Structure 1
């Protein structure tokens, strides 16, 4: 959130200075409005407005990012001074000084450490009490400082503690994200070299193999190809998670052939049946479609019950892939987060399969959903007809 001159949210010196500039600008505008209610002190209020404007301009123009991270805190000292001037301008009425003093403390608590908040106690006390003393306010009014200033400081300490906790959490999550990215890249890239060696060995053996050995080597070659695609899929997960974008290589493919090729990676003893029109052609990325289908089949075999039925039909402007199991269905507690990351994590998996399905479906311009069946559930993915 550090880029862009008009952005107010975020942390760091520039964000702190911009927020201080906005607070001072608002204070200056209120001083100008005060002239309407108290024209007798228009010269003083105009002076307050000019001081607020000058200080706001300084906070916005100084290159704080080149200075110490806590350097914008000096703007707070100037702001306390202007608040004191404002109280004096209104003849010792601290109605506006109190709220802005608390607001300044809250601003400082979001950006600076606790010792700065403690150091602010001196300028804050001076800014609040001196104008009241100069204008001859009663001891009762002066005594309000012993309520307002400790309360403002306590509020600031609470905000600072919470903001510090959030910053620590953000740094921790950033470290986790760095490790996750490094792990994904390592798994996705480093697995390719040994996998290529395995594939070459299997291809060499396949040239002279016959019978059962040939079938076993063919299965091994298919699985090595699948592992390579899974490595690419890991990279896809990282790209989707970081940028939200995924490039597809879409073309028209016969749906029956796509499903048949995907089912060749399913174990032989799995009761998976395909019901696909031989003449139907769908406009998809072949590799992503295969990943979608295998994820849905794996999910159905893991959490559902056989038989698993795969259907691809045309439904108006969409082609509809349906993978249905005959199990107990989806628990009600899982439905709201079914297609989220880690939705079904546990001993049987990490819960990324359906999230990947949803992302691939969205990249195609379709969507993924779950439909109840009696018995079981049907996972449905749609693809636009082109």
Structure 2
């Protein structure tokens, strides 16, 4: 969300809350009619004025303007509050909560300078209502205490909200920097990885390579391909964020894709349990990336064998990757698929792999989740399957 969108959202939020505030004020004015039969016309007028301002808050296109313009609505609130004080014969207890709510509302949506600015109309309204109702001097003098308290409430809220907004802006800037860093890293490492992979394949094809070096070459080749796919996945994320990712959807044999993932990871620890003839409608490269990331995550954090499976559900194909590890705690579950989250408890790895899984799955209009089993955990990727 850009700065313009944030400003629009703040204006909408301020207008909506202001509307609710005046609706409540109008209802309170109507509720006060039975207690003051002599002020029925005045209280009815107050209620009508409150409802009119509420309609203006709800109906005017405030989102087109800076949120600072909403501060003008407080003038109407102070005017209505002063008139209500006169209607209640100087009983400030009936209007004091409304004054406080206006300053709370200003504090939530306006800068501290605006809250200070509201001191003048609030004082005129507060004291004017008391003077018009011929309130005793000591009651009029309560303005000296009441207004500073209200202003202080508004200032405390405003400064706290400003600090929270500054912290959010810093967090968004950090996330943008992280995203740019990851994207740049992915761009910069792809070319060297391609060269390394080509060199390893040439060396691997040489019949004079000693037999005891073959496993090392195979492992290096697998890891190089893994890094290359990770870089491609990161670039896919950049395309997703800019709405430029294009999927080449086709009917794929899940057994074939899973077998390729086994070869790229650890054939001794990963197995496939997929019914023959199981197909899924997906992008080949992205689907392989999803299963590869989940399998590597299971190997890194699990114990014992990892099993890639699949099952059909109405309108969807569910791909599963199960490990035999300690499972996932409730504390880690909420941030498991977020950017740069920890992959599992008691580790120092970051969750880029699972984050990529979530982004690529959602690009397929699918969902990814997990379930703790006994033992271990199983990750479930649900993809739409029109066939």
Question: Per the shorter chain, which TM-score range?
Answer: 0.7 to 0.9
Distance in 1, Cα, partners of 2:145 & 2:64: 36
The DSSP-based 3-state class of the residue aligned with 2:264 is coil
2:299 — aligned with what? Answer: 301
Distance in 2, Cα, partners of 1:43 & 1:326: 74
Q: 1:44–1:303: structure 2 CA closer, same or farther, 3 Å change rule?
A: closer
**Structure 1 residues 292-347: Cα deviation after superposition (integer angstroms, max 9, x where no partner):** 322232222222223x24243545646554434444x2254557447432143675
Query: Once structures 1 and 2 are overlaid, which stretch shifts more, 316-325 or 170-179?
Result: 316-325
Structure 2: stretches of 5+ with no match in the other structure: none
The DSSP-based 3-state class of the residue aligned with 2:92 is coil
The DSSP-based 3-state class of the residue aligned with 1:301 is helix
Distance in 1, Cα, partners of 2:57 & 2:334: 49
Distance in 2, Cα, partners of 1:255 & 1:84: 73
**Structure 1 residues 99-143: Cα deviation after superposition (integer angstroms, max 9, x where no partner):** 221111112112333343334333322211222123222345435
1:234 — aligned with what? Answer: 234
Q: 1:147–1:234: structure 2 CA closer, same or farther, 3 Å change rule?
A: same
Distance in 1, Cα, partners of 2:185 & 2:43: 69
Give the alignment's Cα RMSD to 1 decimal. 4.6
**Structure 1 residues 210-266: Cα deviation after superposition (integer angstroms, max 9, x where no partner):** 3538967777666554433322312344566x5899764332223332122112222
Query: Once structures 1 and 2 are overlaid, which stretch shifts more, 50-59 or 88-97?
Result: 50-59
Distance in 1, Cα, partners of 2:273 & 2:14: 62
Instruction: Please show how residues 12-27 of structure 1 align to structure 2 within 5 Å.
Output: 16=14, 20=18, 23=21, 27=25
In the superposition, the TM-score normalised over structure 2's length comes to 0.74
Distance in 1, Cα, partners of 2:16 & 2:328: 49
Distance in 1, Cα, partners of 2:367 & 2:231: 24
2:74 — aligned with what? Answer: 76
The DSSP-based 3-state class of the residue aligned with 2:120 is helix
Q: 1:262–1:180: structure 2 CA closer, same or farther, 3 Å change rule?
A: same
In the superposition, the TM-score normalised over structure 1's length comes to 0.74
Whether the 8 Å CA contact 1:366–1:384 is kept in 2: the answer is no
Instruction: Please show how residues 49-88 of structure 1 align to structure 2 within 5 Å.
Output: 49=48, 53=52, 70=68, 72-88=70-86
1:210 — aligned with what? Answer: 207
Q: Once the 2 structures are TM-superposed, how far is the Cα of residue 163 of structure 1 from its aligned partner? A: 0.9
Query: Once structures 1 and 2 are overlaid, which stretch shifts more, 56-65 or 286-295?
Result: 56-65
1:368 — aligned with what? Answer: 369
Q: 1:173–1:100: structure 2 CA closer, same or farther, 3 Å change rule?
A: same
Residue 310 (str. 1) matches residue 311 (str. 2)? no
2:159 — aligned with what? Answer: 161
Distance in 2, Cα, partners of 1:301 & 1:197: 27
Query: Once structures 1 and 2 are overlaid, which stretch shifts more, 105-114 or 343-352?
Result: 343-352
The DSSP-based 3-state class of the residue aligned with 2:309 is strand
Whether the 8 Å CA contact 1:319–1:383 is kept in 2: the answer is yes
Distance in 2, Cα, partners of 1:320 & 1:135: 73
Residue 340 (str. 1) matches residue 337 (str. 2)? yes
Query: Once structures 1 and 2 are overlaid, which stretch shifts more, 132-141 or 101-110?
Result: 132-141
Distance in 2, Cα, partners of 1:228 & 1:128: 70
Distance in 1, Cα, partners of 2:329 & 2:65: 54
Q: Once the 2 structures are TM-superposed, how far is the Cα of residue 195 of structure 1 from its aligned partner? A: 3.9
Q: Once the 2 structures are TM-superposed, how far is the Cα of residue 164 of structure 1 from its aligned partner? A: 1.5
Q: Once the 2 structures are TM-superposed, how far is the Cα of residue 350 of structure 1 from its aligned partner? A: 0.2
1:352 — aligned with what? Answer: 352
Q: 1:285–1:63: structure 2 CA closer, same or farther, 3 Å change rule?
A: closer
1:250 — aligned with what? Answer: 249
1:263 — aligned with what? Answer: 262
Whether the 8 Å CA contact 1:64–1:72 is kept in 2: the answer is no
